[in-house]
Amino acid sequence: MKYPVIPVHGLSDTSARMKHIEAALRNSGCTVLPVSLEPSSGKLGIDDLAQQLKSFIDTKVEPHQMIDLIGFSMGGLVGRYFLQRLNGINKVRHFISISTPHNGTWVAYLLWNKGAKQMRYKSSFITELNSDVLKLESLKVTSIWTPFDLMILPASSSHLYFGKEIIVKSILHSQMVSNKQLIKAIVIELGL
């Protein structure tokens, strides 16, 4: 059975960032519901964007319909907040994170807005979110990341220590979502 898929973009992006993944999923016969969270600049916190995601899902998806959720970079943390704090865990079958700073990133120290502060390496927000990350073990979870990521430092922060791990060789963080190996892995992981 194919489930609707909601891809969640990252910092300073819109749903357009996810267009290659969306196209591959649609070509596989999947329903894709793209969401653009605003503003995605980090002015709002990850928790605020997760509330937007929840409202979007509540509006676009039937109450008893399960979905698959894909989060790129900050979008993976938005997805996790939705899953862990907004009862999204009862709505999602499979969660895929792509280059998500699960333990934060040192690069976030270059910005001073709320969202960036939340993404700082081992910030209080990250620490609190990781305090019950094992809730996600009830889902199918896949983390896809590259050891060459210069936006997620350390790059290993993109790996959850449970679930399935897929490593792709991509040099640029922003190109992860157009990486052919990554897109093929997502299609396989979702059983399409």
Phi, psi of 34, deg, nearest 5: -70, 140
Could you tell me the CA-to-CA distances from 6 to 3, 15, 34, 107, 156 in Å, in that order? 10, 10, 6, 27, 25
Write the pLDDT tens digit of every residue in 47-103.
999 999 999 999 999 999 999 999 999 999 999 999 999 999 999 999 999 999 999
- Per-residue pLDDT at 171 exceeds 90: no
What are the start-end ranges of the H helices in 39-179? 46-60, 74-85, 114-118, 124-130
Write the pLDDT tens digit of every residue in 136-162.
999 999 999 999 999 999 999 999 989
Look up the domain containing 21 and give its range: 5-189
CATH code at 60? 3.40.50.1820
Q: Is 173 helix (H, G, I), strand (E, B) or coil?
A: helix
Instruction: Give the strand order in the sheet containing 5-8.
Output: 5-8, 67-72, 92-98, 140-145, 164-167
What are 103's two structure tokens? Answer: 């333990």
Q: What is the dihedral of CA 115, 117, 120, 124, to 10 degrees?
A: -100
Domain total of the chain: 1
Predicted pLDDT of residue 192: 84
- Per-residue pLDDT at 1 exceeds 80: no
Measure the CA–CA gap between 24 and 37, rounded to whole angstroms. 22
Measure the CA–CA gap between 54 and 47, rounded to whole angstroms. 10
**Percent of all residues in the chain with a pLDDT value above 90, rounded to a whole number:** 97
